[in-house]
Structure 1
Amino acid sequence: MNTTTTAPTDTEYPRSIRSFVLRQGHMTAAQQRAIDTLWSSFGLDYQNKIIDLNKVFGRNNPKILEIGFGMGVATVEIAKRLPESDFLAIDVHGPGVGNLLKLIDENQSNNIRVMRHDAVEVVENMLGETSLDGIHIFFPDPWHKKRHHKRRLIQPAFVAKLLPCLKSGGYIHLATDWQEYAEQMLLVLTEFDTLCNTADNYAPTPAYRPETKFEARGKRLGHGVWDLVFTKK
């Protein structure tokens, strides 16, 4: 990716919902090199128009949206375990974007495309109705202080934006290591008549989701981990 067509920088977006929190991070030389050399192959620039994901990936296969991939390790592993699915992975943090591109190249994971942008804007402006077969949001920022709960991503307004993009029979898979946030997630998803819980409350971890560093950290701190999998009726 040349310097004149780089993915958007970490800019504050003037909106009520954002999919990210801005953090400073050190970009290693390898991560920057991956962005410079691999973005044209695996990166997708933000566009203020609906895109055809089948054209983006060059095939008519199931499409999964991942919001907030961290350093991308779990993303690549899931893509390996589900080779017949295509993954649109969105995050805004440069080191993570660079690292995921590096991992895609090392693992020849051709079923991943990367965006560096606010996922809320992508959902609103780039993804067409019923364009997704699944949505993954793993370990979003829990904003554990009560006064910050309004900043959490999983709220009715955002889920309402996601649902039109999801096909009938498609799924939303959330995971968190904060019990109180898990309870909020469960309440939010249960409020939508068009969603059906695949479990009585929390779901067993699906085989495709590997343990992430956030999950391992949570377990070391004595936290549980909660997965929620809901399907669209």
Structure 2
Amino acid sequence: MRDDTEKDQHRRVRSFVRRPGRMTRAQERALSELLPVFRVPPQTDDLRLAFDRQRPLVVEIGFGNGDALAWMAANEPERNFVGIEVHEPGVGRVLKSLKSRGLENVRVAVRDAVEVLRDQARPGTLEEVRIYFPDPWPKKRHHKRRIVQEAFLALVADRLCPGGRLHLATDWQPYAEWMLEQLAASGHFENVGKPFVERPPWRPQTHFERRGARKGHPIFDLLYRRIQA
């Protein structure tokens, strides 16, 4: 259990705005039958304990329909993955995929990412945090809703091990520039890119990326390394 000071520090940071979505019967069945198998237990205060085998731990925040999460877990069996998502149709979809692929190195958390990192991740225990195509909230009055903010970055940095990686991707150039500014100001990270990197081999092309490409949006990958304290 985290202390009240840390909870107050991150109380106003929120990683999502819940939007309604229509679920298929198969997704509803997956939530009912498979979520108990793959879910991070809500009472767990150490994400590592959700797995039978201990491996380096990667967290993907906002996995959407889950295609990238399942692909990464299948292609990186030497790592454990925790995917965080509140959109239940996407959760149902990825649960079906995990079952059909026989993947045992993935768990899902159906709650706000800030709460998961704050209450269920121990400091210095994450090898990497991946955030692909988060909502850019393009209107200025909504910028406060963007997940990449000072307090959130401080929380991520605390949970990453020294030298751990933060990998972000967006198809919205103003948000990419915002990310660069926020990360430069945080003081916790070193930019591996100049300032961006080519899409690394561990990130598959996502649904949102393809949609952005159809609109003519360039893709920006940002890769950072946690500076050792």
With normalisation by structure 1, the TM-score equals: 0.90
Partners of 1:130 and 1:165 within 8 A in 2:
yes
1:198 aligned to 2:192? yes
Give the one of 24, 34, 54 matched to 2:20: 24
1:140 aligned to 2:134? yes
- Paired with 1:97 and 1:176, the residues of 2 have a C-alpha distance of 21
SS in 2 for 1:84: coil
* RMSD of aligned alpha carbons: 1.4
- Paired with 1:88 and 1:101, the residues of 2 have a C-alpha distance of 13
Amino acid at match of 2:192: T
Amino acid at match of 1:154: V
List alignment gaps of at least 5 residues for structure 2. 1-10
Residue of structure 1 in register with 2:96 after alignment: 102
Partners of 2:15 and 2:113 within 8 A in 1:
yes
Runs of 4+ in 1 over 4 A off after TM superposition: none
Residue of structure 1 in register with 2:46 after alignment: 51
**Paired positions, count:** 218
Amino acid at match of 1:71: N
Partners of 2:109 and 2:116 within 8 A in 1:
no
Residue of structure 2 in register with 1:11 after alignment: none
Residue of structure 2 in register with 1:3 after alignment: none
Give the one of 122, 126, 129 matched to 2:123: 129
Identity in percent: 44
Alpha-carbon deviations, 1:97-120, whole Å to 9, x = none? 111111100111111101100111
- Paired with 1:146 and 1:25, the residues of 2 have a C-alpha distance of 26
Residue of structure 1 in register with 2:3 after alignment: none
Partners of 1:45 and 1:116 within 8 A in 2:
no
Residue of structure 2 in register with 1:6 after alignment: none
Give the one of 30, 36, 42 matched to 1:34: 30
Partners of 1:135 and 1:172 within 8 A in 2:
yes
Give the one of 160, 166, 172 matched to 1:166: 160
List alignment gaps of at least 5 residues for structure 1. 1-14
